[in-house]
Amino acid sequence: MKIAISGKGGVGKTTIMALLANEFKKAGKDVLIIDADPSPHMAETLGVTNIDQIKPIAEMTKLLVERSGKVEGSPFYNMNPQVNDLLHDFMISHDGIKLMVLGAIQTGDKGCACPENNVLRRMLTKLLLSPDEVVLLDMEAGVEHLGRGTIAGIDHLLIVVIPSRSSVRTALKIKKLAEDVKIPKINFIGNLIKNEQDRQFLVDNLTLSPIAFFTDSQAIREAERDETPLTRIAAPADNAPRLLMGALTGKG
């Protein structure tokens, strides 16, 4: 299964993705997270201590240019670069969950054929097509990634939304763009829910009712402050991660 998560900045994408990854791991799945946010925080969320050893693939400019096959003086790139060996060279494992950090993808405008975008898109395609893993992509905040093609090939897009007008507006825009690029399944996830009024606000203002609701968790806030991995907190979000996994796998 190939799942990406998106939403307005600060809505809790990384937190929910880490909790979902841990739930899949407990279910016996081989889990790989790709942190595709230009300001990556997944490693800290999972409790990775050797963060400085992670190589963001987007920073390997020379390698990316070589792999893209650009001929000096030519405006064209090889659109099918070989990246098989990169899949392991830039991957670490922590507590049974694999992680890759792509780092910043710098593009001038939509449709840019820069070598970074080309190779990263190809690498993502290879990873997303792996039949033996649950691949989870923590995308950058906002809508820009939908215009770069890096999200192409996923099975399911989860859009995290909190009970605020601005978050709902962004979530609806992401959904529209995701439909434009033909993502097969798109669903909302409610986060930072304090009461029934918050839940009902999202139900009333979104085009689809969220498939899971995560409460405003004091345990999660304290874990972040104490630098405690979310995967080691007992029931940090009640049973929401399990219910979300069930909804995604059809076993809810």
Give pLDDT, residue 49: 79
Total Cβ atoms within 10 A of residue 63? 16
Q: How many residues does the chain have?
A: 252
β-sheet bridge partners, residue 137:
4, 34
Stated pTM of the model? 0.83
CA 153 – CA 151 distance, rounded (Å):
6
Total Cβ atoms within 10 A of residue 226? 7
Question: Between the CA of residue 19 and those of 6, 15, 100, what are the distances in Å?
Answer: 15, 6, 17
Instruction: Count Cα neighbours of 218 within 13 Å in the Cβ-side half-sphere.
Output: 0
Give pLDDT, residue 58: 66
Give pLDDT, residue 109: 41
Give pLDDT, residue 106: 47
Give pLDDT, residue 107: 43
Residue 6: phi and psi, rounded to 5, are -145, 175
Predicted confidence pLDDT, tens digits, the chain (252 residues): 889 999 988 899 999 999 999 999 999 999 999 887 766 788 888 888 777 777 777 666 667 667 666 655 666 666 666 666 767 778 888 889 999 887 654 443 444 445 556 666 666 666 555 666 898 988 877 666 565 556 667 889 999 999 999 999 999 999 998 888 888 999 999 999 999 999 999 999 999 999 999 999 888 888 888 888 887 776 666 789 999 999 998 875
Q: Which domain holds residue 167?
A: 2-249
Question: Between the CA of residue 240 and those of 16, 19, 218, 237, what are the distances in Å?
Answer: 9, 9, 15, 6
Instruction: Find the CATH number of the domain harbouring 60.
Output: 3.40.50.300
Supply the Cα-derived Rg of the chain in whole angstroms: 18
DSSP for residue 161: E
3-state secondary structure of 165: helix
C-alpha 218: how far from chain center = 23
Structural domain count, the chain = 1
Q: Max CA-CA distance within the chain?
A: 61
